[in-house]
Each structure stands twice: as structure tokens, then as C-alpha cells.
Amino acid sequence: MNSTDTRRVYLDHAATTPMRPEAIEALTAQLSAVGNPSSLHASGRSARRVVEESRERIAQAIGCRPTEVVFTSGGTESDNLALKGLFWSRQRPRVLATAVEHHAVLDPLQWLAEHEGADLTLLPVDEDCRLDVAALAAAIAVDPESVGLVSVMWANNEVGTLQPIDQVVALAKGYGIPVHTDAVQALGSVPVDFARSGVDAMTVSGHKVGGPFGVGALVVRRELALTPLAHGGGQERDIRSGTIDTPAIAGFAAAVEASVKEQAESAARLSGLRDALVAGVLAAVPDVRVHGDRDHQLPGHANLGFPGCEGDSLLMLLDAQGIECSTGSACNAGVAQPSHVLLAMGCDDEEARGSLRFSLGHTSSPEDVDAVVAAIGPAVERARAAGVRR
């Protein structure tokens, strides 16, 4: 079989997930409508109504006030807005984050360190990718008054480990330090309640919950001062200026609402599929290493290390069989780099380059799992043989 005569098995939902029918319907219904939501005439007011009703639906789904939802172009912009906006507003040099954050967090923090004088501390995690809370406490205690913000992701995008957000908030709040969390992977997969969590700012994205690309939100407490990244028309509380994308926001709201409504049922289904996938792969390739914290993990994530394999080679062998997943490494100018997440968890370079991430979502099925289990043994044999020939 090859990619032209077999159905595609899509197991890369952590990268993006297919749009939900509800989101497609909501988005397309607005594509032919005219009206800038900032205009005062009837068409503008109609568009504004769609935006504000969408804001209310999202707020209801994630446990916040509608006025706390600031629409953006997606997770990367939301992370940048939270981190740079907080740093510039608070004017305190120290910034604390985990070493396993998404690059949408790590890169702006590195930029702040290189260009704005930020004193960045990347906190360690254990072998399961859980934050060392004692290290966070020690880092804060050095000089609490100098800490501008703490950023800890809700769930890791590579291995699916859930972070102890409640403990992070409890520590930071004792010193009045604001907490940001990137919840892009968590929303729709585990219960996410902004108010109950106690965080001050939270990043979410549309295309990870079955919504459109190019839309997301920074959920931010009204009392938290943020310096805008862009200045213009003053939209979105003057935090994020720019013409509001009514169709995308309508699709985003529909996807958030549906994914949150189905979350508990979906989690039970996906965790069952994931466990079957892991068991099947282990039966076929017994020396596989399972990465992540099985007791604190997203239901659809399975990050597996294959000794003696290059992850990118194994990925392409599976892709030729119609199975789509991702590696646990980043690509820079065509050269595979070891995953910073796996390295932080204690893997060596070879282990970090030899991992694959299978991430399941709302379209995943038992047949998808069966396809992986059937293909993985021969693919690993070929990948290992190729490595020996090198």
C-alpha cells in the first residue's frame, strides 16, 4: 500500500484538528455578511452582535466573564501579548517559566531577555515532564519583588503531561505575582475553568478545538494591566487593535462550545483509544519507551520513543502507509533537532530524536489505532536497518 491507495490515518490532532461541522456552519454563515463590527450602522451592529454573542458563548464554556475574552489571531499572538504585555506593564525584571514550554512562550521570553533586559529563569521538570514545584518556590523566594510574571503551560504539547497549575497559582498569589498559562492543548481535552483556576491570563486557540485557523483568545482578568503589542483602533479593550474577524470568531465560538460540551465523553473515548494504541505498539516493539506522566496526562496524547530509530525516518515510513503523526523534535533549516521537551525530561540526544507523537482527536477511531499497530513493527525494522546502514 502507499499514500495513493489507502485512506489517511490522521493522528496529529495536537498540531491541528479537523474543523467541526458546527464551526464550519457558523463560519460560512458569516462569510457573505457585510459589516465591520466597529461600525455604527445596521450592518456593523449586526456583525457586532455576532461577535459579542460569540464572546459570551466562549466565556460560558471556559468559566470567565465575557469582558475577559480578548480575541487574537491565535495562540502565538496570545502568548506574546500576555508575556510582553505583562513584562512591560509591571517593569519587574525576573520572569519564570518551565523549560518545556511551547516555542510560542519560550521564544518571546528569550527575546525579552535579549532585547528588553528580562532575567529569565527556566524551571526544571521531572522525568515525566511535571514541573518541580519546589524549584519554583525557591526561584520566587530569591527576590519575590523582582518577579514580573510566571508562565506555566496547562498541558505539554509534546508528551501531554498536565502541569500542577493549582500549586503554581497558590505559590505565586502569595506574593502577588501574576500567572499566565498556555492552555491551547488543554481546552476541550480536560476541564478548563479560568475563574476556578486562579490564573490571571490564559491562552486558547481555535484550530486546536476544531475551529478555524487564525483565531484565538487571550483570557485576561479585567484588573490586570497589559501593554498592547499593536496600537490602532482600540478594539478588544485597547489591548489588541485591529479589525475583528467576525466569521472566524463565530466558528471559534461554535468549536469551543462543542468541544467543552463533549469533553468528558471524548476524554473517556480517547484515553481508551490511546491506551489501546500504546499497548499494541508495545506488543509489536517491546523496547519502546513511553514518555509523559500517565497519571496526569491529556487523554489523546501518546509520545513514544523508539530506540535505534530516527524519528523523522520512522515518520516518513508511516506516512507512506497513510499514517500521519509527528516527531518529538523541531526542524531547523531541514536539520532535525532534539526535542527541548524530551531533553529537559532527561533523555539524551539520540532518545530525543527517536520519538513520535501520536495525538488523537474527535475524528479518531479504533480503525486508526489498528492501522498504527499493524504498520509499526515493519516500519521500525526498516528504520533501524536504515540506521545501521548509515
Angle at 319 between CA 314 and CA 320, to 5 degrees: 100
331 is a catalytic site residue: yes
SS3 of residue 90 by DSSP: helix
- Distance between CA atoms of residues 288 and 297, nearest Å: 18
Angle at 33 between CA 28 and CA 36, to 5 degrees: 120
Residue 73: C-alpha distances to residues 23, 215, 216 (Å): 16, 4, 5
Of 64, 129, 309, 331, catalytic:
331
Residue 96 CA, distance from chain mean position: 19
- At 69, list the grid cell: 475574552
Q: How many CA atoms lie within 13 Å of 221's alpha carbon, on the beta-carbon side?
A: 16
Buried b (16+ CB within 10 A) or exposed e, 331-370: eeeeebebbbbbbbbebeeebbbbbbbbbbbbebeeebbe
Q: How many CA atoms lie within 13 Å of 284's alpha carbon, on the beta-carbon side?
A: 21
Residue 152 CA, distance from chain mean position: 12
- At 384, list the grid cell: 533501524
Contacts of 89 (CB under 8 A, 6+ apart): 225, 226, 227
- At 67, list the grid cell: 469582558
- At 57, list the grid cell: 458563548
- The answer to whether 291 touches 304, Cβ cutoff 8 Å, is yes
SS3 of residue 147 by DSSP: strand
Contacts of 234 (CB under 8 A, 6+ apart): 241
Catalytically annotated residues: 331
